[in-house]
Amino acid sequence: MELRQLASFLAVVEEGQFARAAARLFLSPPAVTGHIQRLERELGVQLLERSPIALTPAGERLVPHARTMLAAANAATDAVTDLRTDDDLPLRVGVMAPGSAELTPVILRAFRKAQPAIPLIVESLAFAEHTTALTEHRVDLAFVRPRPDDERLNVDVLTTEPRVLILPAAGPTGDADALRLSDVLDLAFVGLSEDVPRVFTDYLYFASARNGMPPRRGVDEAATIQDVLTSASAGRAIGAALYSFSRLYHWPGIRFVPVIDAPWAQSVLASRRDDIRPQVRAFRALATTLARDLGPGLASASEAAGPVILPEP
């Protein structure tokens, strides 16, 4: 699927004629016809009725996604049109797995396609690198959770989600369908190193509900989500996460159980406030556009059970 094919498709939909669509795109009518025919062959469905011009059900479903893809590509292009690409440094993107759920790979793929001349390096981040990877200039942008409270950083919210516990399936609460904060505050959570910032420890341990009391900690210390999952599956401690983790991780011996009265939390794209390079602006613009237009749809398509992620009430 190519952007020019989507542009031809939308032009015909909006103009109602192949000739007017071709004039608008400065193409010949046969070229526009060829774009749409190739798009239909690639998708394996008919998108337009020809006489008269009308959308098929498949075409109606494609229209909003085509507009989003073109808008995202245009936003990225507009933000970097003044760049010289012969001496660009790589754009380094950190991901505290899994980033912003299904949006993370979509955003990375879209940027590579929209700006193939800009080198892109993706690096994994541990919990302790929640803000330091950016402030120490090891990465230029970072998919992290929860929202940092560092005034040196710009923050673009990509998802706002309910909270879940990561529990041993064989544990005393592992068979619950839902829990409340009062049910979980006395459980033993995974430990975190002293290098992990306070905003992350408060997020993991539901600090706002503890009235200053410290959490019980298990014997394991976690540096990444993989460590949390391993500890929980072994029945040694529990963890906490965003709701989207229940779609993305399927480990033996664990369950994700909603905490129905816990405050919702956010996954974000963070960057340095003083980094005004066009390629950083382009990545942020692309990410926020895709999060706004595709986020709920991606969550819905991947949902195995439970509610679709909605904006925080």
* Same domain assignment for residues 98 and 168: no
pLDDT at position 313: 28
The CA distance from 93 to 189, in Å, is: 29
* Same domain assignment for residues 168 and 30: no
DSSP-derived secondary structure for the chain: --HHHHHHHHHHHHHSSHHHHHHHHT--HHHHHHHHHHHHHHHTS--EETTTTEE-HHHHHHHHHHHHHHHHHHHHHHHTTT---SSPPPEEEEE-TTSSTTHHHHHHHHHHHH-TTS-EEEEE--GGGTTHHHHTTS-SEEEESS----TTEEEEEEEEE-EEEEEETTSTTTT-S-B-HHHHTTSEEEE--TTS-HHHHHHHTTGGGTTTPPPEEEEEE-SSHHHHHHHHHTTS-BEEEETTHHHH---TTEEEEEBTTSPPEEEEEEEETT---HHHHHHHHHHHHHHHHHHHHHHHHH--SSPPP----
pLDDT at position 308: 33
Q: What is the mean pLDDT of residues 32-55?
A: 87
Lowest mean pLDDT among 51-65, 89-103, 153-167, 189-203: 51-65
Instruction: Indicate the average pLDDT of the chain.
Output: 87
pLDDT at position 81: 56
Say how many Å lie between the first and final Cα of the chain, rounded: 37
CATH code for the domain in which residue 209 is found: 3.40.190.10
* Same domain assignment for residues 58 and 201: no
Q: Is the pLDDT of residue 310 over 90?
A: no
313 falls within a domain:
no
Q: How many domains does the chain have?
A: 3
All residues at 6 or more sequence positions from 23 whose CB lies less than 8 Å from its CB, including other chains: none
63 falls within a domain:
yes
Closest CA to 186 of 169, 209, 163: 209
Residue 212, domain extent: 163-263
Q: What is the mean pLDDT of residues 26-43?
A: 85
pLDDT at position 5: 86
* Same domain assignment for residues 17 and 58: yes
Strand order in the sheet with 163-168: 239-242, 163-168, 254-258
* Same domain assignment for residues 128 and 250: no
CATH code for the domain in which residue 35 is found: 1.10.10.10
310 falls within a domain:
no
The CA distance from 161 to 158, in Å, is: 10
Taking phi first (over 0 means left), then psi (-120 to 50 degrees means alpha), and beta for anything else, what does residue 16 get?
A: left
Pull the structure tokens for residue 247. 């779609």
99 falls within a domain:
yes
pLDDT at position 305: 35
* Same domain assignment for residues 131 and 280: yes
What band does 150 get if pLDDT is binned at 50, 70 and 90?
very high
* Same domain assignment for residues 175 and 253: yes
The CA distance from 25 to 19, in Å, is: 10
* Same domain assignment for residues 179 and 215: yes
Could you say which of 36, 56, 79 is where a domain stops? 79
The CA distance from 142 to 203, in Å, is: 18
Query: Is there a contact between 220 and 227 (Cβ–Cβ < 8 Å)?
Result: yes
pLDDT digits (tens, 9 = 90+) for 181-240: 999 999 999 999 999 999 999 999 999 999 989 999 988 999 999 999 999 999 999 999
Could you tell me the CA-to-CA distances from 4 to 18, 26, 35, 67 in Å, in that order? 15, 12, 7, 12
312 falls within a domain:
no
Q: Best-predicted range by mean pLDDT among 64-78, 172-186, 243-257? A: 243-257
Q: Using a cut of 0.85, tell me whether the model's pTM lies above it.
A: no
pLDDT at position 75: 74
pLDDT at position 3: 80
What band does 80 get if pLDDT is binned at 50, 70 and 90?
low
pLDDT at position 300: 56
pLDDT at position 176: 86
Could you say which of 35, 57, 79 is where a domain stops? 79
Could you say which of 13, 47, 79 is where a domain stops? 79
Lowest mean pLDDT among 66-70, 171-175, 263-267, 280-284: 171-175
pLDDT at position 85: 47
* Same domain assignment for residues 155 and 270: yes
What band does 24 get if pLDDT is binned at 50, 70 and 90?
confident
* Same domain assignment for residues 28 and 74: yes
* Same domain assignment for residues 173 and 231: yes
pLDDT at position 306: 39
Closest CA to 35 of 17, 22, 52: 22
pLDDT at position 53: 87
* Same domain assignment for residues 258 and 289: no
Query: Is there a contact between 62 and 90 (Cβ–Cβ < 8 Å)?
Result: no
